[in-house]
């Protein structure tokens, strides 16, 4: 198989040849049709040591075809089209083939191209788990409550806005700082869009009660104080980005409010007993994309997976200004 690997922190990808692996147990062997890129790719790349003996293959968003399955697999068979994010502790998807545990794989949407489908898994898992597993939002109880989604136009925000509206039935306030990203948040169903550069001031001008839920998709440190001040009594904040500073949890005590973390690799990383929930939620997202309840958040395809296209995708991610998702097509033979 072909793969694009990194031998050192922030180095350039290099084309490498590896033996195509044989799947065992619950693993599927996937022939990759398309991938998408995420900020985690550049973060892992930046954290690599120097002069690694074995290249690190990164990338955790893919759509492909099952070409072989381990003896314990019972969810998929050869020929099935699938989409998945994968496991950050294993090789990623900047490759022609990849092994992935079937319990974290979903049926690919039938109505989308491979590039469009590849754009969805990582962000959908993150948004779904943040809203429904970590903050435990449930429309029967929470319908009409308000959620503030900080970073609404990015990959995760773009699907979180839709899930919060369509499944949570919440009043959604998203943040964006440019006309293009503001328009995109409204297109996805946000009820209000405010600028994260003057967040509290703009939130207060909406005339709404304090947010019951906050999903912070920006860096945690610069937002911690402002968001814990803004949150409603008995509310919940979900952070997704590792903090570099210590923060005062007592700030939330008198409000009986809480903080939860979402890390979408937690289930595969710890092999939790419920890791199959990612299979179920991806299937649900796939169905909702096919019946047009959800809009695909794919924005552009840069070409095939290659040294130059990986570099271009990473440069775009590092601007912090991308809207929706960026995909790459399969490695060329």
Ligand X SMILES: NC(=O)c1ccc[n+]([C@@H]2O[C@H](COP(=O)([O-])OP(=O)(O)OC[C@H]3O[C@@H](n4cnc5c(N)ncnc54)[C@H](OP(=O)(O)O)[C@@H]3O)[C@@H](O)[C@H]2O)c1
Residues at the contact surface with ligand X, assessed by CB under 6 A: 38-40, 123, 126, 150-151, 153-157, 175-178, 181, 196, 217-218, 240-241, 262-264, 317, 320-323
Nearer to ligand X, 2 or 299 (CB): 299
Nearer to ligand X, 154 or 168 (CB): 154
Nearer to ligand X, 96 or 322 (CB): 322
Please say whether the beta carbons of 239 and 213 come within 8 A. Answer: no
- Closest separation between CB of residue 129 and ligand X, Å? 8
CA separation, residue 162 to residues 102, 169, 186, 188 (Å): 26, 10, 10, 6
Q: How many angstroms separate the CA atoms of 245 and 288, rounded?
A: 39
DSSP 250-273: GGGTTTT-EEEE--TTHHHHHT-T
CA separation, residue 300 to residues 34, 63, 92, 96, 303 (Å): 12, 15, 21, 20, 9
Please say whether the beta carbons of 57 and 22 come within 8 A. Answer: no
Nearer to ligand X, 23 or 211 (CB): 211
Nearer to ligand X, 42 or 65 (CB): 42
- Closest separation between CB of residue 137 and ligand X, Å? 17
What lies within 8 Å, CB to CB, of 96 at 6+ separation is 1, 2, 3, 31, 32, 330, 331
Q: How many angstroms separate the CA atoms of 32 and 286, rounded?
A: 18
- Closest separation between CB of residue 58 and ligand X, Å? 13
- Closest separation between CB of residue 181 and ligand X, Å? 3
Nearer to ligand X, 96 or 146 (CB): 146
Q: How many angstroms separate the CA atoms of 68 and 188, rounded?
A: 37
- Closest separation between CB of residue 256 and ligand X, Å? 25
Q: How many angstroms separate the CA atoms of 289 and 143, rounded?
A: 22
CA separation, residue 311 to residues 99, 306, 328 (Å): 24, 8, 11
- Closest separation between CB of residue 219 and ligand X, Å? 7
Nearer to ligand X, 116 or 123 (CB): 123
- Closest separation between CB of residue 241 and ligand X, Å? 5
Nearer to ligand X, 123 or 162 (CB): 123
Please say whether the beta carbons of 9 and 50 come within 8 A. Answer: yes
What lies within 8 Å, CB to CB, of 91 at 6+ separation is 3, 57, 98, 99
Nearer to ligand X, 97 or 196 (CB): 196
Q: In the bound complex, which residue of the shown chain has the CB atom lying closest to ligand X?
A: 154
- Closest separation between CB of residue 177 and ligand X, Å? 3
Cα–Cα–Cα angle for 102, 22, 281, rounded to 5 degrees = 10
CA separation, residue 60 to residues 70, 85, 92 (Å): 21, 5, 6
Q: How many angstroms separate the CA atoms of 301 and 269, rounded?
A: 29
- Closest separation between CB of residue 307 and ligand X, Å? 22
């Amino acid at each position: 198989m072909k793969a694009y690997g990194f031998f050192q922190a922030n180095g350039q990808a290099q084309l490498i040849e590896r033996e195509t692996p044989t799947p065992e147990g619950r693993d599927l062997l996937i022939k990759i049709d398309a991938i998408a890129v995420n900020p985690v790719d550049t973060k892992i790349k930046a954290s690599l040591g120097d002069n690694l003996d074995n290249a690190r293959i990164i990338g955790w968003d893919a759509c492909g075809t099952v070409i072989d399955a381990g003896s314990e697999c019972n969810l998929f068979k050869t020929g099935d089209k699938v989409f998945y994010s994968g496991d950050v502790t294993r090789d990623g998807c900047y490759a022609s083939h990849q092994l992935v545990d079937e319990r974290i794989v979903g049926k690919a949407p039938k109505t989308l191209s491979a590039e469009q489908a590849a754009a969805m898994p990582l962000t959908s898992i993150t948004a779904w788990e943040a809203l429904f597993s970590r903050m435990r939002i449930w429309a029967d109880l929470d319908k009409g409550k308000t959620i503030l989604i900080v970073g609404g136009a990015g990959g995760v925000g773009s699907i979180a806005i839709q899930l919060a509206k369509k499944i949570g039935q919440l009043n959604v306030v998203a943040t964006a700082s440019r006309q293009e990203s503001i328009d995109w948040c409204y297109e996805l169903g946000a009820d209000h869009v405010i600028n994260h550069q003057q967040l509290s001031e703009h939130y207060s001008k909406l005339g709404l009660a304090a947010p019951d839920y906050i999903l912070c998709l920006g860096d945690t440190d610069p937002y911690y104080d402002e968001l814990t001040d803004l949150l409603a009594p008995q509310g919940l904040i979900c952070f997704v980005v590792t903090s570099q500073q210590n923060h005062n949890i007592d700030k939330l005590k008198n409000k009986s409010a809480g903080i939860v973390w979402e890390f979408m690799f937690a289930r595969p990383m710890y092999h939790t007993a419920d890791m199959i929930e990612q299979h179920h939620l991806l299937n649900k997202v796939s169905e909702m994309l096919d019946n047009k309840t959800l809009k695909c958040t794919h924005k552009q395809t840069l070409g095939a997976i290659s040294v130059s296209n990986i570099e271009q995708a990473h440069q775009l991610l590092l601007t912090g200004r991308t809207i929706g998702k960026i995909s790459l097509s399969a490695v060329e033979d």
